[in-house]
Structure 1
Amino acid sequence: MSTATEPRTAGAAGRTAGTGRRGGLLWLVWRQNRGLALGLLALLVVGGIGMAVQGSLMSGYLAQHHIAGCAAISTNPRCDGLQDAVWDFRSAYGNTFRLGQLLLFMLPMLVGLFVGAPLLSRELESGTHKVALTQSVGPLRWLTAKLALPAALTTLTAAGLAVGYLWMWRSGGQETLGAYWYSDSGFTALGPVPVAESLLMLVIGTLVGLLIRRTVAAMVITFGVSGVLTVAFMLVRPYLLPPVVTEFPKSGPRLPDAAWRLWEGSLTRALVRLPQGICSSASDMQKCLDDHDAVGSYVVQHPASHHWPLAWLESGIALVLAAVVTVVIYRIVRRRFG
């Protein structure tokens, strides 16, 4: 009877020890990243509360002065005589709004710089990773534990701030604020984009740190990569969806302010679209247009309805790139330490 009991007791002890070791690894990762965790959570709480308060104040101002939907220069008869109130609104709330927008625009770079780049490079530079890898912790499990907590915190912080910014942006109204969805900083701050691009920069910073093994150098290179990726997304963004061409055969273009104009050109009497800038270098532009029989214009644009499809497409690209970079990180760790 004792013979049958001893193996079960030994097996239970082994399972308990294994659980303890797994708990020990997670506890170690938490101890190493608790400053980061508290910092990101503080940013989420302070930023989220600030955006919620700002949104409520802006919404109240719009309701009190009846300027919702009114731009600084508006053809809407309802907005006649309200331009001063619109400018006062922008003066009162514009700077704080732009501060929240700037925070989300820079968030991916900040995550890559201060979370991703030091994540592995600090341990590789000091050699402390050897302690974890010699405590019967496999390299892939060590890597998973190192990545999981920062990824979860990054997702939570970026998503929370993006929701707060969206509430603030909608409360103020893009026309009244003059902050349209297609601006470079505005697009990056809205919806899923800051979440996806923050995760991408997290793993890019981690990969750079893994390859460089020097924290400061990894941060510098990550900063440069972040700038390149930001510009690349801006250049690719207009072409993620086919734009809409709107023709104005007789008069100048009258598009909503929320439409993202990509380019425009002249339209002939026979409704032939002339190339963009065909008369831009002519000494007499009007004569050049008359010679081409141009009587109207056309605009290539993304309407406001394209905002969310464009945002999800860009976010999908960022997440696919993040997945590819993560696979590369695992392969390098496995080859180097496995």
Structure 2
Amino acid sequence: MIWLTWRQFRVQALAALGAVTAVAVLFAVSRGHLSDLARSAGLNGCAGADACASARADFFDGVQADRLAGVLFYAGAVLLYLTPALLGLFWGAPLIAREVEAGTFRLAWSQSTTRRSWLAVKLGLVGAGSVVTGGLLSLVVTWWAGPIDRAAALPAGSRAAGPSLPGRFAPLLFGARDLVPVGAALFAFALGVTCGLLLRRTLPAMAVTLLVLTAVQVALPMTVRPFYEAPLRKTVPLVASYGHDFSMRIEGGSVRMVQSVDVPGAWVISVGTTDSAGRPWSGPAPRVCLAQNATPQQCLGAVNALRLDQVVSYQPADRYWTFQWIETALYALGAAALAGFCFARVRALRLD
């Protein structure tokens, strides 16, 4: 049974191996230049907040000036979100649905091998291939982006207005680093198999797999991930001034003020404005800010006289690996539940 499964799966496996190899070569060739940028900016071994902030800004200047580095940074994230979907669509969904459509399941399940044994070998072998594929791609992309991720975790300092890239704890990148892509690949594969078993048609199963997986990958960072552990809160004075780190928008009777808050390596979930008593504040704007003959300096002075604060809700950088393990475990538990459902359901699948 293992040999038969390998013969059926070997084309897809070799194609995946070729794709992973091509990606690895592309990222490996450009990694040396990325390391050179980090070295020339003084990022390696920088000491002191000011020195590291300056090196960080210089490094990001160099990365942004290098089009290939910028493209590969975001292409790597897209690839690691796309890979689980492709595995679910082209490896998971057809696993049972194609057998049912072609009628070959009648022969496979009427031999000495039981349905559960047949399914166990299929899930084990192809599922392992999914894990290896997702794991290798995540290893390559995470290794390549190492200098950028380390730079993003450093204090931004006074040059925060310069070009920057999101850190690995940011919602956009968290699911495209380290362990989570492996769990997502396994879950997507199990989801595809389940959809194929229920719908018994390959194309509808592929469509449903894509829809459900997309919904999970969108909903998870928005509704579940922020609360793996209770967020921390940090209060900093709001200082209205000219420059990159402050902006103010007046809309009717409400005011929205934004001041950059530097929490190195953390995932900032929300930033709110409060008054001196700690109550949420959204206006009204000082009268001088609405006067036509008032100068910007007068408006900024009136805002500072309010003594407002910015309250930041965030997950600190030292929780990154905890969150990685939690989310990977959630994906693995989801995959196990779907596999268990498939084992129970396959016994009830009729041969006629």
The 8 Å contact of residues 166 and 191 in structure 1, kept in 2 or not, is answered as yes
TM-score (norm 2): 0.77
Q: Which residue in the other structure is 2:119 paired with?
A: 143
Q: Is the 8 A contact 1:40 1:154 kept in 2?
A: no
Aligned residues: 303
> Deviation of residue 293 (structure 1)?
5.7
SS at the partner of 1:237?
helix
Within a 5 Å distance, the mapping from 1:23-172 to structure 2 comes to 25-66=1-42, 76-77=53-54, 84-89=61-66, 91-172=67-148
Secondary structure of the structure 2 residue equivalent to 1:335: coil
- Equivalence map 1:1-338=2 (5 Å): 25-66=1-42, 76-77=53-54, 84-89=61-66, 91-173=67-149, 174-175=151-152, 178-235=165-222, 236-249=224-237, 251=239, 254-256=261-263, 258-270=265-277, 272=278, 274-275=279-280, 278-279=281-282, 282=284, 294-336=307-349
1: CA distance between counterparts of 2:306 and 2:341? 57
Alpha-carbon distance between aligned partners in 2 of 1:57 and 1:83, rounded to the nearest angstrom: 13
User: Kindly tell me: are residues 297 and 53 of structure 1, through their superposed partners in 2, closer, same or farther at Cα, counting changes over 3 Å?
Assistant: same
Segment drifting more, 233-242 vs 315-324: 233-242
> 1:13 — aligned with what?
none
Question: Matched residues, percent identical?
Answer: 28
Q: CA deviation at 1:306?
A: 2.1
CA 1:284 to 1:110, structure 2 compared with 1: closer, same or farther past 3 Å? farther
> Shift of residue 227 of structure 1?
1.3
Give the Å deviation of 1:132: 1.4
1:211: Cα distance to partner? 0.8
Partner SS state of residue 255, structure 1? coil
Superposition deviation, residue 28 in structure 1: 1.4
Q: What are the ranges of 5 or more consecutive residues in structure 1 without an aligned counterpart?
A: 1-24
The amino acid across from 2:331 in the alignment is A
CA contact (8 A) 2:37 2:63 kept: no
C-alpha distance in structure 1 between counterparts of 2:238 and 2:179, whole Å: 40
* C-alpha distance 184-296 of structure 1, shift in aligned 2 (>3 A): closer
How far the C-alpha of 1:253 sits from its partner, in A, is 5.6
For 1:262, the aligned partner's letter is I
Shift of 1:68: 5.9
Using the TM superposition, give the Cα deviation of residue 329 of structure 1 relative to its aligned residue in structure 2, in angstroms: 0.4
Cα distance in 1 for residues equivalent to 2:62 and 2:182: 35
- Which deviates more from structure 2 when the two are superposed, residues 168-177 or residues 320-329? 168-177
Task: Give the C-alpha shift of residue 240 in structure 1.
Answer: 1.6
Letter in 1 for 2:268: R
The amino acid of 1:156's aligned partner reads: V
Judge conservation of contact 1:263–1:301 (CA < 8 Å) in 2.
Answer: yes
How many angstroms apart in 1 are the aligned matches of 2:102 and 2:206? 16
Find the aligned partners of 1:185 and 1:77 in 2 and give their Cα distance: 25
Tell me by how many angstroms 1:150 deviates.
Answer: 0.9
Separation in 1, partners of 2:214, 2:11: 26
Tell me the residue number matched to 2:243.
none
**Cα distance, 1:119 vs structure 2:** 0.8
Large movers: runs of 4+ above 6 Å: 79-83
- Deviation of 1:254 after TM superposition, in Å, equals 3.6
Q: Secondary structure at the match of 1:27?
A: helix
Residue 96 of structure 1 deviates from its aligned partner by 1.9
One-letter amino acid of the counterpart of residue 105, structure 2 = H
| SS of corresponding position for 2:122 | helix
Q: Which moved more, 1:226-235 or 1:175-184?
A: 175-184
Deviation at 1:77, TM superposition (A): 4.6
The residue aligned with 1:7 is none
Structure 2 contact 41–56 (Cα < 8 Å) conserved? no
- Whichever of the two has the greater Rg, that structure is 1
Q: Give the residue type in structure 2 aligned to 1:325.
A: L
Deviates more, 1:158-167 or 1:175-184: 175-184
Quote the offset at 1:326 in angstroms: 0.7
Distance 1:78 1:118 in 2: 50
